[in-house]
């Protein structure tokens, strides 16, 4: 079980949430609700996939949406969507499968409760998350198409990743084979390279914050701890303990190289099934192992994979392997034909 240094984020995770409006609990026979439906959700209905509408929308509009996603410059409201099954529950709300009525485009609708955000004092964090994620355009970063709100709730309109959390997939498989892990690490590296080119540091890379789409491709999600950091260093302690770099656990300034460390931890966990510095005795023991870079790579991990992990998990951030070199590393090239096109 992962140990969290800080868990106060606006992401929907596996915790209970308060009751949502009745509209969000109503589902038609195709797994979606509309504002005027009075039919209650049943387990069997919630599992149904959306059906093709009898009268399709404008074909040109649909093709544009399929290519580019939903419009990001329009004013949205709840009545624009049919609401389907729950995708996840979190401390501050729930995420639902949704369908935009005008185009029948499938998306995810994250519903957050203002009272919970205010009590946890993370309104500014959510605002920053929305500001950052709305402007990102990369094939391995989850799109945020827009948001709207009412008196009690904030609604985020997100790209739908059909296969769900990377963490659940990793739990199911226990670990990944090297070809599969290399694909995901290459996709992560291209996405992080893009983020850093935009002066964005994610700061909370971990399996729980990664999603898998219908094609099996990785999507970075949950930008709750991300920041713009143009030519500056940060000091905030944030993220999840198992993935924190030495400079964070020691209270020193940090920069974009924290994401390189997290990439190394992620690669290790993909191949071994547990984070490299996890110590079940206590949080302090984990802190000590991170600060000492007490790294032990099992012998069944290939030498090239071990080399890449070791070059990312360097105590000094400036010595961590740059993302461009990650994509050119022999371990990546052995398993991925064209890392930048994957």
Residues designated catalytic: 204
129 is in an annotated binding site: no
3-state secondary structure of 299: coil
Residue 8: exposed, middle, or buried by beta-carbon count in 10 A (0-12, 13-18, 19+)?
Answer: middle
Q: Name the H helices within the chain.
A: 43-46, 59-68, 114-119, 123-134, 166-173, 178-197, 246-249, 257-272, 283-292, 303-312, 323-327, 330-335
208 is in an annotated binding site: yes
Q: Residue 21 has what DSSP assignment?
A: P
159 is in an annotated binding site: yes
- Measured distance CA(291)–CA(251) in Å, rounded: 11
209 is in an annotated binding site: yes
Q: Residue 53 has what DSSP assignment?
A: P
CA distances from 14 to 91, 140, 242 (A): 8, 23, 18
110 is in an annotated binding site: yes
Q: Phi and psi dihedrals of 93, rounded to 5?
A: 165, -155
CA atoms within 13 A on the CB side of 241: 18
Cα angle value 87/92/96 (rounded, 5°):
20
161 is in an annotated binding site: yes
Among candidates 151, 67, 161, which has minimal Cα distance to 115?
151
Binding residues, as ranges, are 91, 110, 159-161, 208-209, 222
Binding residues for ATP, as ranges, are 91, 110, 159-161, 208-209, 222
């Amino acid at each position: 079980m992962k140990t969290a240094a800080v868990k106060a984020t606006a992401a929907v995770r596996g915790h209970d949430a308060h009751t949502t409006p009745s509209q969000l609990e109503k589902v038609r026979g195709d797994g979606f609700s509309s504002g005027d439906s009075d039919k209650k959700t049943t387990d069997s209905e919630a599992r149904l996939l959306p059906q093709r509408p009898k009268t399709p929308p404008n074909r040109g509009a649909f093709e544009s949406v399929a290519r580019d996603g939903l419009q990001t410059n329009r004013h949205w409201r709840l009545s624009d969507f049919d609401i389907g099954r729950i995708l996840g529950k979190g401390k501050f709300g729930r995420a639902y499968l949704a369908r935009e009525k005008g185009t029948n485009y499938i998306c995810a609708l994250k519903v957050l409760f203002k009272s919970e955000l205010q009590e946890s004092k993370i309104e500014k964090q959510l605002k920053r998350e929305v500001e950052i994620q709305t402007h990102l355009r990369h094939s391995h970063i989850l799109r945020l198409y827009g948001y709207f709100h009412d008196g009690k709730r904030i609604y985020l309109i997100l790209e739908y990743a059909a296969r769900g959390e990377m963490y659940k997939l990793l739990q199911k498989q226990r670990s990944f084979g090297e070809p599969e892990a290399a694909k995901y690490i290459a996709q992560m590296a291209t996405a992080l390279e893009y983020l850093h080119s935009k002066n964005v540091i994610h700061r909370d890379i971990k399996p729980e914050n990664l999603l898998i789409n219908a094609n099996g491709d990785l999507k970075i999600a949950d930008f709750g701890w991300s920041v713009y950091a143009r030519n500056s260093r940060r000091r905030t302690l944030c993220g999840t303990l198992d993935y924190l770099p030495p400079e964070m656990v020691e209270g020193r300034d940090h920069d974009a190289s924290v994401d390189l460390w997290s990439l190394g931890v992620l690669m290790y966990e993909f191949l071994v099934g547990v984070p490299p510095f996890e110590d079940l005795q206590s949080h302090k023991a984990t802190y000590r192992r991170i600060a000492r870079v007490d790294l032990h790579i099992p012998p069944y991990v290939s030498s090239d994979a071990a080399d890449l992990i070791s070059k990312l998990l360097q105590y000094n951030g400036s010595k961590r392997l740059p993302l461009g070199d990650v994509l050119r590393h022999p371990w990546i090239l052995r398993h991925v034909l064209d890392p930048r096109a994957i």
